[in-house]
Amino acid sequence: MILSQEREQALIKKLKDRFPSEITEARVVRRSRPEILVKPENLVEVATFLRDELGMDHANGVSGVDYNREARFEIIYHCSSLQNKETRDIVMAIKESIPRNTPKARSLISVWPGVDNFERETFEMFGITFDGHPRMEKLFLTDNWDGPPPLRKEVRFPTD
Amino acid sequence: MSAQKTAQDQDDVLAMLADSINVWVGKLSEIVQRIVDVGPIRSVVNWGRIYSLWPVNITTACCSAEFGAASGARHDLERFGVLPLGSLRQSDLLVAEGTITKKMAKRLRMIYDQMAIPRYVIAMGDCAISGGLFHDSYSIVNGAHEFIPVDVYVPGCPPRPEALEQAIIMLQEKIRHSKVYERG
């Protein structure tokens, strides 16, 4: 088993060279798990670069994190490559941080069509609207659901 | 005038006759039920019910793995007469196997309504008892008893196949002491 992080460092170096100011933070969590923090307005460019130049052709998932004490949401896109055999095990995390009172982000559906349902799920669980998504509506919740987005931190349930 | 009257009288007589026949038939069925419930017919009928508890093939969550293990060769639920085979209409037992989401609860109730009487319910696992790990969640029902009457609860997360076997033996004991015409 290779424990070196050369591939991840090379990947991050390529990204940092191309986007020096757009990527505010980049690090390797552990082997095969690099992550970058991108400014919300440049997310689509970075994702397009990742797909076209670095071969990240597959979005594994989209998730949201509610940092309510810091008054922000974080959206995390996980993507990986199916075409490059050397970097097939790498799962790259692209994070963006958006303010909590205006939960709006740009959709990445133009880059990876597979994020369709993931973004819908993030929408119904956190109430984050994705601009450019063709069908921004409920996915998993019951049909008669009229409460707030259930995974937000301020939501309380009867016996809490 | 008189002809009309006689016709009316005839109708009255017929209605009275029908009423009394209905009353007598009702009485008769009551008597039959009483005889069945105190006599040896009850134990024969219950004996038949005890050893043919066919469960419905409905899986709500991960406890179904333990149910599968219990139905397998090592624990072999068929020696108690529990055979996971056949359609909804032929089944007598509904095992709520694990977490019941609000969407699944609707389907589970639908299945329960379609089963023929007598029907029995086992709530398997902590989630089916009280919601368990997901108690008070936005998408989980806090226990199967909220929408169907439950006969036996099996605690455990997940319960071992032996626990399910014990639940089935307890249910059989309950059926042995129950009356034939009780609505389950």
**Residue A143 contacts by C-beta under 8 Å, 6 or more apart in sequence?**
none
Nearest residue, CB atoms, A158 vs list B103, B136, B139: B136
- Specify the CATH number for the domain of residue B88: 3.40.50.12280
Quote the CA–CA distance of A66 and A81 in Å, as a whole number.
28
pLDDT over threshold 70, residue B170: yes
Give the pLDDT score at B117.
83
Based on the fold, state whether residues B29 and B114 are members of the same structural domain: no
Quote the CA–CA distance of B102 and B100 in Å, as a whole number.
7
Size of interface A-B (CB pairs under 8 A): 17
Give A130→chain B minimum CA distance, Å. Answer: 23
Residue A160 forms contact with B (CB below 8 Å): yes
Report, as an integer, the average pLDDT of B102-123. Answer: 91
**Amino acid, single-letter form, for residue A11:** L
How big is chain B, counted in residues? 184
Residue A51 in any domain: the answer is: yes
Total number of domains constituting chain A: 1
Residue B21 in any domain: the answer is: yes
Give the pLDDT score at A159.
66
Residue A140, number of CB atoms within 10 A of its CB: 13
Give the pLDDT score at B94.
92
Give the pLDDT score at A160.
60
Contacts with A142 from chain B: Cβ below 8 Å: 102-103, 139
**Amino acid, single-letter form, for residue A70:** E
Instruction: Give percent of chain A with pLDDT exceeding 70.
Output: 96
Cβ(B92)–Cβ(B117) under 8 Å? no
Range of the domain at A11: 6-115
B19 by Cβ neighbours in 10 Å (0-12 / 13-18 / 19+) ranks as exposed
The separation between CA B149 and the C-alpha centre of its own chain, rounded to angstroms, equals 9
- Lowest mean pLDDT of A17-31, A136-150, B15-29, name the range: B15-29
Based on the fold, state whether residues B72 and B161 are members of the same structural domain: yes
- Lowest mean pLDDT of B29-38, B88-97, B143-152, B158-167, name the range: B29-38
Quote the CA–CA distance of A44 and A50 in Å, as a whole number.
10
pLDDT over threshold 70, residue A56: yes
Residue B97 in any domain: the answer is: yes
Range of the domain at B81: 52-176
Give the pLDDT score at B184.
47
Touching B: A residues 119-158, CB under 8 Å: 140-142, 147, 150, 155, 157-158
Q: How confident is the model at residue A157 (pLDDT cuts 50, 70, 90)?
A: confident
Residue B102 forms contact with A (CB below 8 Å): yes
Quote the CA–CA distance of B172 and B166 in Å, as a whole number.
10
Q: Is the peptide bond before A40 cis (omega within 30 degrees of 0)?
A: no
Give the pLDDT score at B21.
80
Q: Which residue of A has its CA nearest to B135?
A: A159
